[in-house]
Structure 1
């Protein structure tokens, strides 16, 4: 691709193509905005994984056509993400298709075992998240929510605003 010596070419490709691809991703993120690699939706998670995979593919390209195709694929992913984010803001129907609703796993100190079963979250994982949130007593927990990203949020204290649980589904 660059020189005739295979070993030198290997190092040059690794350095140059990875550098170019990294610069390209940074440029795309600057154009697309801070939300590019957020974990706000399932689509955002897939976007992050896909860009990482494409970045690895770009750095291993052995021909310019495959390198450029990979770079164009990255750009297309950012365009699709931007388009879906715009559609989600404009259409509640599209939003409901693209986005899972968060699920309540625990409320007012009570573990909701049916919700754990339905969401396939082990009680031991829930307890680990409670420890991470520095919960000292289950009675302190106002709510535990399995977010749309797969993260678990723990709300503890003396009270919980209803606004914080708006849109959270109760699994039965």
Structure 2
């Protein structure tokens, strides 16, 4: 085993990574700007999959000599186009939207936890109470509704004081 090769192969590989990396990064930024704000919005499960796939593609493009810049750029464009297509169809078809996106879940109502929904969503009381405190409440009794949104955030609507 050559210990030196574990840390450094040659300058050609480093130069390729710098050039292809800069061009791939610029390509990804350009594609994301063209695709609009929706691509960079808060992530739901589908968006997270696309984001991970984009990162994996960019990584392969940077580190695998067998992947040319044009192929990597095509893969990035394809992923962004597919995300655009899914969101385009989702806006026009409620049934399709339900298929690819999760619905918000009611975690608490009128000052009481919905235990079954909390269990099914794998949300602890501590996590829920943290969201209540972030919204200005102190205890679950301060809550009118507590909702696990489709992007994974928890939003709290507090009861109005009489």
TM-score, normalised by the number of residues in structure 2: 0.83
Deviation, structure 1 residue 44: 1.4
Task: From 46, 52, 56, give the equivalent of 2:59.
Answer: 56
Within 5 Å, give how 1:110-129 maps onto structure 2: 110-129=112-131
CA contact (8 A) 2:129 2:139 kept: no
Distance 1:64 1:84, change over 3 A: closer
Q: Who is 2:38 aligned against?
A: 35
CA contact (8 A) 2:147 2:155 kept: yes
Within 5 Å, give how 1:1-172 maps onto structure 2: 6-39=9-42, 41-65=44-68, 67-158=69-160
* Residue aligned with 1:144, SS: strand
For 2:159 and 2:132, the matched residues in 1 are separated by 13
For 1:18 and 1:150, the matched residues in 2 are separated by 32
The C-alpha deviation readout for 1:90-125, integer Å capped at 9, x for no partner, is 111111211211100011221111111122222222
CA contact (8 A) 1:37 1:47 kept: no
For 2:108 and 2:36, the matched residues in 1 are separated by 35
For 1:84 and 1:50, the matched residues in 2 are separated by 15
Gaps of 5+ in 2: 1-7
Give aligned pairs, total. 154
Deviation, structure 1 residue 41: 3.2
Q: Who is 1:165 aligned against?
A: none
